[in-house]
């Protein structure tokens, strides 16, 4: 991938994280560490316990899904599908009752696909609400 596309992708992911956090009313701020995997931290937190990135951290993604599912008038369902028909590859489906669905194909990383589907669903809820 060309270097400029990596930076564009990182910007897209940062915006996605901002939208997801806003949607879930999670207060984040730029992280002061130099690790690009952690562009944000929970507001007022420091050190590794403060890092927040549900695109790479299973715990952050699960907390995001639970918060979104418990919010008023929102239902969130997560399905991890391994089709038997051979017509499609394995995928993760995240549906939010009022805001549509997001499907991510696993390829070699079902955990990453699930995290991304959760974040994209949360960001979409934020865009539409």
Topology, domain 3-128: Bacillus phage protein (3.30.2120)
* Residue 75, CB-side half-sphere exposure with 13 Å CA sphere: 3
Residue 4: per-residue pLDDT = 46
User: Which helix (H) or strand (E) is 14 found in, with range?
Assistant: helix 3-24
- What is the rounded CA–CA span in Å between residue 4 and residue 10? 10
Residue 39: per-residue pLDDT = 92
Residue 9: per-residue pLDDT = 59
Q: What is the pTM of this model?
A: 0.81
- What is the rounded CA–CA span in Å between residue 75 and residue 97? 5
pLDDT tens, residue by residue, 80-106: 777 766 666 777 878 776 666 777 787
Residue 16: per-residue pLDDT = 94
Strand partners, 92: 80, 104
Residues 53 and 44: beta-carbon distance below 8 Å: no
Residue 57: per-residue pLDDT = 96
- Taking only the tens of pLDDT, the chain with its 129 residues reads 445 445 455 889 999 999 999 989 999 999 988 888 999 999 988 777 799 999 999 999 999 988 888 875 556 788 877 776 666 677 787 877 666 677 778 777 888 888 988 898 888 887 876
């Amino acid at each position: 991938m060309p270097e400029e596309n990596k930076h564009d992708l990182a910007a897209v992911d940062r915006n996605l994280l901002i939208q997801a956090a806003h949607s879930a009313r999670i207060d984040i701020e730029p992280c002061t560490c130099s690790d690009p995997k952690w562009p944000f931290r929970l507001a007022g937190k420091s050190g590794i316990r403060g890092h927040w990135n549900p695109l790479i951290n299973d715990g952050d993604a699960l907390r995001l899904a639970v918060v979104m599912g418990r919010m008023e008038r929102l239902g969130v369902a997560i399905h991890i599908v391994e089709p038997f028909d051979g017509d499609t590859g394995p995928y993760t489906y995240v549906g939010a009752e009022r805001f549509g669905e997001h499907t991510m194909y696993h390829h070699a990383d079902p955990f990453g696909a699930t995290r991304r589907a959760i974040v994209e669903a949360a960001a979409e809820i934020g865009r539409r609400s």
